[in-house]
Structure 1
Amino acid sequence: MPVDQTHDPFEEQLSAALHQAGGAFDTDRAALAAAGEVRGRRLRLRRRAALAGGAAGLALVGVGGALLVPSGGGDGPRNGSVAATGSGKPTAAPHVAAVSADDMVRTLTKLLPEGKVTRGAARGTDDPLGLPPLAQVVFDDGAGVGAVSLVVDRVGREEGTFDPASVVTPCPGMEMPGTVPDSCVTQNLPDGSVVTLIQGYEYPDRREDTKAWSADLVTPAGQRVSVSEWNAAAEKGEPVSRTEPPLTMAQLKSLAAAKEWRRVADTLPEPAAAPTASGSGSGEGSGSGSAADTTGLAGRRILAALTGSLPDGMQVVSSDHDETEFAYAVVDDGKGRSYVQVNMQRGMSDAAGELYGSGAETLADGTRVATRQGPGEKGGEGVVMWTVDTMRADGRRVVVSAFNSGSQTTAATRSEPALTMTQLREIALSPQWEVLGG
């Protein structure tokens, strides 16, 4: 089928200097102090175990606010390319031929039903930042256009003990108001793979009519294929163009299970399985002890979610992450650099009373929201810090902060951060955090 390739490629601007890890990973101390008391020694043990094992590969999944991560391969529905990233890259697999961005688009095009394909963002296995291969297209089967995004990756595992069901996207629990999709089912395939199929909306509260359907498949060999589709030309910002996304759920599952993607995954380095912290902790935070906490994937997922959520025209000039909860990006909107950071924690319900006071907002789905605007905490002259702090009904906490400098410790380079409080709020409340890392 024809492929329109009239897009302009991203021009990635690689930064020559990432922040030193010690300064970059230190976060909003005032906002997180109570959380640290609650989680205590168990979290520190888990973090040390993850750091000892190193970071594994990034796995992107699609439920509601599925992740569309821009790349250097082309302009897609979302803008804002990642220009540099840091820690925890696994070593490359030897003597394996790379799969190009063009190969990814050609393969996706071949596997789609008959129709017209317009190429969006794409990335091959030779990405200099170590991000996973990606293909995004706009597909028109004659009944209206719909966006389709596919990411291939590998997950850390231990031979003989790996269970794909421990990594694949779980269905949201019925106890989480406002997050339950129209349909969610996890299936075991004959070859031992596990796939979760979800039919929902881009925004679970359905404030827009954009539907988001997804298939997340993990094989016994640790290969992961995540496919998402929408009934609009883009995940966000485009009007609905058809009643439902273009592929049926059976077609979506077949696309995710195609052998071609497993061969792509086999060209990627296999991340080492991070050890789990043993310890006989008192149980605080035990609700967050899922497989996603111990695979070492969380930091890279958080970074991808952050950069994929940035407004159009925002260039990422440097970025980094730790293995479990934190990521940052230095962005430039043409008016100067601005440091943006995200912390994501799970199992924080028992700290909600300390973190969200009488001035906090409670949304209809039970999410709590607190905002702060004040001076930075690291001594940079004239630096201000704007923060949106949120907690879902299931105890998942997302804190997003932006500064009016490219570093928390250097003088201000602009009067305000590059992101407004409204934009920070939109990032913090994005549905993507509800499925990120399980």
Structure 2
Amino acid sequence: MPIEDRDEQFEDRLGAALRSTGDSFDADRTALVAGGETRGRRLRMRRRTAVVSGAAAIALVGVGGALVTPWGGDGTGQRAVGAGGTTVGPGHADAAPASSPTAKTTAPPAPVSGAQLLKTLKGLLPAGKLTQQSSRGTDSELGPYAYGVFDDGKGAAALSVSLGRIAPGSGEARQTTECPDKAFVPYDECVTSPLPGGALLRILKGYEYPDRRVDTKLWTADLVTAEGAHVTVMEWNAPAEKDAPISRPEPPLNSLQLKKLVTAPAWLKAVNAIPAADKVETPPTSSTPEQVESDAITTALIGLLPKGLKVVGKSKPAVEYGYVVVDDGKGKSFVQINVQPNMQDVEDDLFGEGSGAVTMPDGVKYTVRQGDGDGKGKGLVMRTADAIWPDGLRVVVSAFNSASQITAPTRTNPALTLDQLKVIATNSTWQQLQPVPDQD
């Protein structure tokens, strides 16, 4: 399930960031788990694996690609909220401390405290009250953020701003500013916009829970710059992101207000004050791993489908992962596949003793399984075939009795049988696909 986002994203971020990234990729979204031992940065992107009856099934990946995003944006507030929740009149945000623009030195900018970030947030909000405030400064090892419960007179709403860095041009940067695939992330609206100066802004109006068991809305605005600065605003239509009654029809800030808040120049100054060692992840020095492009995967998958299945949907471009939605006249069925080279290090874990793996005459090992597709006993059925070649190529293909992993069943069983999935997973076609270097 590439999405990212929750995440995503997909890893949990502490503090305010947990309120978006971590929760968007929680276990409720088809109970994602790792598909084997983690192998650093590459496998963080590659092994988001769906669960079938507690067993790892199909590994899912993020989207790679380049991103060119120089900074730009307007950030003037209109009204301010006083400390302690008191309402004040029109005002403007105080700029976060930064080094002198005329002084060219190697000295880092002065840290920005959590209290200063809260003051900036209050100055950028419309008229209202901000209570239950919490924050961390730029010198915090857990990352800077400002959080509060905002009430403009129409209902209390949790709201936060978090700051950080993303490696420019990385898959993470692209995922952060792309609209996610609705096959994995339910949302009402998503817009990605280039801003003056070249920055990219994504505003996503979605939900706290992927399965919509509670209609708590989560709206996010993400800004990424060419230098890797990342500003995220998150808001809910409830006084807490989870386990709180819905207090208003929608979160308090509309798209224009979200844009003004997330592009405020004060946040960039604060990002610049984050210690240099924490700004950008050090690129790996080991040999570049290989991946298979999803266009080739999806095309091959379609060619291997049994007769009588009509393809009514398919995945966006990515790497290692693809999916199709098929219909045999009995309802839509989601079929996803992951093709991963060089997976020898997880062979014993996934195909060893106790796994039920069968070894074919050509040395290919495979397992098949069927189980609860979401772990909640709501009728979602997932069938999976998992195969690994002697050279380490792993192919995992799964089928659901629904149009996606996050929607209700559309039929009694998936459109493909376990034997049909096994035939696809062990087909020699996958050996013929040419991997490309991992660009993340």
Interval of TM-score (by shorter of Structure 1 and Structure 2): 0.3 to 0.5
Instruction: Using structure 1 for the length normalisation, give the TM-score.
Output: 0.45
Q: Comparing both structures, which one devotes a greater share of its residues to strand?
A: 2
Instruction: Using structure 2 for the length normalisation, give the TM-score.
Output: 0.44
